[in-house]
Amino acid sequence: MGINFSNFIISQSKNKRLNEFQDLNHLDGVSVSTVSANLYGNNRDDLVMFYFRDGANYSSVYTQSQIVSENIKWNLKQNSNKIFSLLINTRNANCFTGKQGYKSLERIAELASEKLSEKQKEDEDQPKKIRNKEIVFGCTGTIGETFPEEKIKNKISELISKLKYTQNKYIWMKAALGMMTTDTQPKMSMKECLIGSSKVKIYGIAKGSGMIQPNMATTLGYIFTDADISNDILKKLLRKNIETTFNAISCDGDTSTNDMVTIFATNKSKNSMIKTINDSKLVEFEKSLHNVLLNLSKRIAADGEGASKFITVNVNNSKTQAEAKKIAFSIANSPLVKTAIAGEDPNWGRIIMAIGKAGPKINLNKLLIKFGNIIIVEGGKLSQSYDEKQTANYMKAENIEINIETFTGKKHFTAYTMDLTKKYIEINADYRS
């Protein structure tokens, strides 16, 4: 199975500021397929289907925007214990489409459930009848355009016919590429770990490049594991670990209408029963889950629209984590900070500005600011060791780290973002053109 090369070429169009993406291979209980519904008019893959032949436990977090897409409304209404399919389309957000957008999803789900039920009869000794409420959707793209129901329905049979019960890295690559909008790179991550004595896998793919500052989630992020974990524990794990991963990134300070992160567990690993989130057998799994979520989150921030630099903002020794988060995002979302970094200008005065407007009280006599390991401000004033030339040279790097020590407590928070370049304006000025 070949890669959609128009997508792949796009993904190679910029220098990578993070390590190469990982190869995802087979994960029991998951089948993947992609097709082109010609939503972009150029035959690139734009529909992605995940199929769980025995169903999957799941949990999701969604945007907290007061205006949400029709697929978010649909997903929130589904109360099944298991999900059998996830269908993702790009190019169209299905937001502000009203009853037409929701009814379109209903009809697509009816068709998909019918065809997947037929596949069950063909492939399974004990076939299951799949219901439309056991299908969830991910939509991404332009807000307010008529949802392309017929184009998607016409490709359901092809999507299902392409499903294979054994995966390889190319199929996962096609799925990650098929989700992209203004992304320039696919986002994939994986970890293997143990639950007790049982080896389990955690795979993740995501898309996101603009309209990114999450509130409970961001963009589209999907996690797949063969672990046997209940919906309730999946929910607790996801909500706990989303705060310092997907909720720690910002590209432009804007929260989307379509944001969602979902975890699916196929229960194929046959690990010992997990009764609570505090079960000691979950420690390694949770660390690995956090690693996958954080890896995907960083890749989204690094691939922000027009980005030339990946920025990490560490705020340490704060009174509370909430205060540290306010300061970190005040810096990460400042257009003045982001443009200075884009211009490789060590304008530390803009960091001072961003800290000052964040809200938490600051003791200037204790404040410490560093670019990487270079001390800029200490004791509330410019450091005597400050070297403008050394700092300017540091700003030429692709990965920039801003370290803030407030010394008001022991809490910390790290935010991840990107610089603001002319390219960001060009991309968003021409997004619909």
Model confidence pLDDT, tens digit, residues 66-78: 889 999 999 999 8
Looking at the structure of the chain, the number of domains it has is: 2
Given a cut of 90, whether residue 158 has pLDDT beyond it is: yes
CA–centroid distance for 185 within its chain:
13
- Residues annotated as catalytic (active site), given as ranges: 218
Mean predicted confidence (pLDDT) in 9-22: 50
Is 181 in the same domain as 328? no
Is 293 in the same domain as 322? no
CATH classification of the domain holding 73: 3.60.70.12
Q: Which domain holds residue 405?
A: 310-429
Angstrom distance (rounded) from CA 238 to CA 64: 16
* Per-chain mean pLDDT for the chain: 91
Angstrom distance (rounded) from CA 66 to CA 61: 15
The model carries a pTM of 0.90
Is 361 in the same domain as 408? yes
Angstrom distance (rounded) from CA 360 to CA 355: 8
Given a cut of 90, whether residue 184 has pLDDT beyond it is: no
Amino acid at 271: N
Q: pLDDT value at position 217? A: 44
Q: Which of 268, 302, 336 is the last residue of a domain?
A: 302
Mean predicted confidence (pLDDT) in 354-378: 96
Q: What is the pLDDT of residues 51-71, one digit of tens each?
A: 999 999 999 999 878 889 999
Query: What would the two tokens of residue 157 be?
Result: 């049979």
Is 249 in the same domain as 387? no
Mean predicted confidence (pLDDT) in 29-47: 96
User: What separation, in Å, do the N-terminal and C-terminal C-alpha atoms of the chain show?
Assistant: 32
Q: Which of 244, 271, 302 is the last residue of a domain?
A: 302
Given a cut of 70, whether residue 3 has pLDDT beyond it is: no
Q: What is the pLDDT of residues 126-143, one digit of tens each?
A: 999 999 999 999 999 999
Is 291 in the same domain as 319? no
- Minimal CA–CA distance to 136: which of 192, 79, 177, 206? 79
Q: Which of 265, 280, 302 is the last residue of a domain?
A: 302
Q: What is the pLDDT of residues 223-235, one digit of tens each?
A: 999 999 999 999 9
Given a cut of 80, whether residue 21 has pLDDT beyond it is: no
Q: What percent of the chain has pLDDT over 70?
A: 91
Q: Coil, strand or helix: which one is 72? A: helix
The model's confidence at residue 428, banded by pLDDT at 50, 70 and 90, is confident
